[in-house]
Amino acid sequence: MAREAQRFFANRGAVVGTVLICILLAIVGARPLLSAKSPDALNIDHGLTLRGAPLPPSAESPLGTDDLGRDVWARIVAGAATSLEIACLATLLALVIGLTVGLVAGYAGGWVDHALMRLVDLVLAFPFLLLAILLASLLREADLASSIAPVVVTLGAVSWTTIARVIRGKAMAVSRSEMIVAARALGASPARIIARHVLPNLAGTAIVMAAIGFAQNLLSEAVLSYLGLGPATTTWGHMLFEGRAYYRTAPWLVIAPGVAILVAVIAFNLVGDGLRDAFDPKEST
């Protein structure tokens, strides 16, 4: 791991991405200290102009207020926690599904591999966003609109295919190595071979896919929330949805969450690229 770490920190983009992610996590962790205001506290009397318009950025409200007098900075900080939580859980779910399918397909081969890859092709046959919208709409009918569960399940259920394909290719290559042949000759069971020999050799690839998938899920959550299919809580995508009608008169309502989403997605993509170059430098050439 020392060589991988050295290659990772030699990548300037990866270092920048890591710093940005640390700042985001620090903001989430220090949320009570960074904003004493509640993100959902209405302030009709003092949070709006005399004409009822949102207040522009000021010393009291660094990012201004929204149409209900709520502090935008407080909502950005609260939205960071929710958006990152959704992206994290969705990525973990996709990683579990993708790893399982990819490992089984790559190691077993034959008809098992063929059947699982046809399942992957079936999911990929549907446009990612349209499938996500369909699943999110169906799950919202289960009286879970206020929960993050529908979005997490939706994103996890549609984003595992790429992970499965990459893991399947790596697992197939590892399964044909002399190490695996020797383990089979010694009578090791398939489960033991996968757990002790195949899976550890795929750890680097799984980490890379998780970082890249995290960025994709973060952006996808924002899209679903903007379309009104996200959780009924404060997220960056939901803030974009609420501020869309004021993009001319109060542009900070869309600029603030838009910049937050942009910075977070770029940060995780930079880290994902750095991890890919660190664990498999041949693929970056």
pLDDT of residue 285 exceeding 50: no
How high is the pLDDT of residue 143?
Answer: 55
pLDDT of residue 262 exceeding 90: yes
Residues 6+ apart with CB under 8 A from 169: 106
CA distance 186 to 283: 34
Indicate the residue type of 15: V
CA distance 65 to 61: 7
CA distance 119 to 115: 6
CA distance 66 to 48: 8
Which of 254, 170, 167, 156 has the alpha carbon at shortest distance from 214? Answer: 156
Residue 57 near residue 64 (C-beta atoms within 8 A): yes
CA distance 205 to 217: 18
pTM confidence score: 0.85
Label residue 258 by pLDDT band (50, 70, 90). very high
Q: What is the DSSP letter of 71?
A: B
> Tens digits of per-residue pLDDT, 21-62?
999 999 888 877 777 677 777 776 656 665 667 778 888 888
How high is the pLDDT of residue 44?
Answer: 66
What are the structural domains of the chain? 2-284 (1.10.3720.10)
Considering 39-43, 145-149, 258-262, the range whose residues carry the highest mean pLDDT is 258-262
* Positive or negative: CA dihedral 7, 103, 154, 128: positive
User: If you average pLDDT over every residue of the chain, what do you get?
Assistant: 83
* Positive or negative: CA dihedral 167, 169, 172, 174: negative
pLDDT-wise least confident of 41-55, 168-182, 218-232: 41-55
How is residue 160 written in tokens? 């595992």
Residue 148 near residue 231 (C-beta atoms within 8 A): yes
